[in-house]
Structure 1
Amino acid sequence: MIDEKLLSILACPACDSRPRVLLKESGLVCTECGRVYPIRDGIPVMLVDEATFPGEEARRADTGDSRA
C-alpha cells in the first residue's frame, strides 16, 4: 500500500493536476487527464511514457507493446 503522505504530494507530470492522483486497482489515476500510472513493487512509476489511459492495457497486450 502507498503511504497517504506520498499520495498527498504526488502530481501528474503530464498536466500537474490538483487534486493529484487517486489510488485505484490499475495504478495511480490522474483526476484531471485520466492517465493511469503503474505501481511496480509498491513504487509509483510517475513517468509520462509509462502512463496509459483506461482500457489501453488491453490494446497494448494485443499489439505486443511491453510498456504496460
Structure 2
Amino acid sequence: MKMNVTETVKQACGHWPRILPALGVKVIKNRHQACPVCGGSDRFRFDDKEGRGTWFCNQCGAGDGLKLV
C-alpha cells in the first residue's frame, strides 16, 4: 500500500509524542530543552498543538512533527 505525505501526516496526528522518541528525537512537552536540529541547549520547545507535533526553536524557527524528522 502506497501512502502519500498528506495521508501519513493525518495518520500521525495525535501520535507525535510516541513517534518522535521512536525515531530518536527526545521531546518533553512544554519544556525548554536542547534542540534536536541545531543542538542549542535551551532554545527548543515541543508544544504539539492540535496533535501535529508542533515545535519552536529560538534559532531554527518552528515546524511540525514531519519537519522535525
Give the TM-score category using the shorter length: 0.3 to 0.5
RCO higher in structure (CA 8 A, sep ≥6): 2
- Taking structure 1 as the reference length, the TM-score comes to 0.33
Which structure has greater helix proportion? 2
Which structure has greater strand proportion? 1
- Taking structure 2 as the reference length, the TM-score comes to 0.33
